[in-house]
Amino acid sequence: MTAALIEARALGKSFGPTPVLREVNLSVEAGRGAAVIGANGAGKSTLIRLLAGLSAPSAGGALLFGEPARALAPPLRRRVGLLSHQSFLYPNLTARENLEFYAALYGVDGARAAVAQWLERVALGGAADARVRGFSRGMEQRLALARALLARPDVLMLDEPFAALDADGAALAAALLREAIGRGCAVLASAHSAGAMEELGFAVFTLNRGKLVRPQASAVRQSPPRPSLARQFS
């Protein structure tokens, strides 16, 4: 059986007395995609942050490559691509300078050529030397996608990847996600609706009152709850 690259085990998160996520179990293997949908405030972004290791769970475990996400070693961390509501781009740097910075950070081979290639792939070749502070929201989102994919990650987590994109931008993003899945990347994305994710062949889950509802047919295997892990990973 193929090991999961992204996994939630009885994962929970509370802010004060208010539970946002409760007993979430999810497993995403290499070459698979899962999407979590729900209304604003349902906990989608919180789940992404937990699984990316940016926030500590209140209960249960968030794992990447079988290791606790919060304690991931740098060599494994470099294999993770993240797109969140924050672009993690520097507004006073140009598009090219931003990608060159991240290429150096992630140790990308042939960084200059890779950066030039990615700028063209996200249709920003003509804006390569423009400062990001002057970009539209859609341009910034495309550059953030390039940043997340630049190092060819094995795990990709995307918080609303189609946000702010026009039809051409959304088609471009969808093509990049298909390519990532095709080369064996494990992808977890959040979205407001299921349509675009189903077209990509993602298994779609719904967050409702902090619980993850399992789809009828899934390309992603749900893990059974393991209550004992709440103490191990909390």
Q: What is the pLDDT of residue 220?
A: 47
Are 160 and 226 in the same domain? yes
Confidence of residue 192 (pLDDT cuts 50, 70, 90): confident
Residue 183 within any structural domain of the chain: yes
- Indicate whether 69 and 95 sit together in one domain: no
pLDDT digits (tens, 9 = 90+) for 38-70: 988 899 999 999 999 999 999 999 999 999 999
| In-domain check, residue 85 | no
Number of domains in the chain: 2
Q: Give the model confidence (pLDDT) of 1-16 as tens digits.
A: 578 999 999 999 999 9
35 and 125 together in one domain: no
131 and 174 within one domain? no
Q: Structure pTM?
A: 0.89
Query: Which CATH number goes with the domain that contains 202?
Result: 3.40.50.300
Three-class HEC string of the chain: CCCEEEEEEEEEEEECCEEEEEEEEEEEECCCEEEEECCCCCCHHHHHHHHCCCCCCCEEEEEECCEEHHHCCHHHHCCEEEECCCCCCCCCCEHHHHHHHHHHHCCCCCHHHHHHHHHHHCCCHHHCCCEHHHCCHHHHHHHHHHHHHCCCCCEEEEECCCCCCCHHHHHHHHHHHHHHHHCCCEEEEEECCCHHHHHCCCEEEEEECCEEECCCCCCCCCCCCCCCHHHHHC
pLDDT digits (tens, 9 = 90+) for 137-172: 999 999 999 999 999 999 999 999 999 999 999 999
Residue 175 and residue 228 in one domain: yes
Q: Give the pLDDT confidence score for residue 215 in this predicted structure.
A: 57
Residues 105 and 159 in one domain: no
Are residues 118 and 202 both part of a single domain?
Answer: no
Residues 190 and 209 both lie in one domain: yes
Same-domain check for residues 75 and 160: yes
Does residue 215 form part of some domain? yes
Residue ending a domain, choose from 151, 174, 204 = 151
Q: Are residues 125 and 18 in the same domain?
A: no
Rounded Cα distance, 156 and 182, in Å? 13
Q: Would you state the pLDDT for residue 150?
A: 98
Q: What span, in angstroms and rounded, lies between the C-alpha atoms of 145 and 143?
A: 5
Same-domain check for residues 171 and 109: no
Output b/e per residue, 21-48; b: 16+ Cβ within 10 A.
bbbbbbbbbbbbbbbbbbeeebbbbbbb
Q: Using 50, 70 and 90 to split pLDDT, how confident is the model at 226? A: very low
* Same-domain check for residues 105 and 45: no
Taking the C-alpha atoms of residue 60 and residue 227, their distance in angstroms, rounded to an integer, is 7
Range of the domain at 71: 4-79+153-233
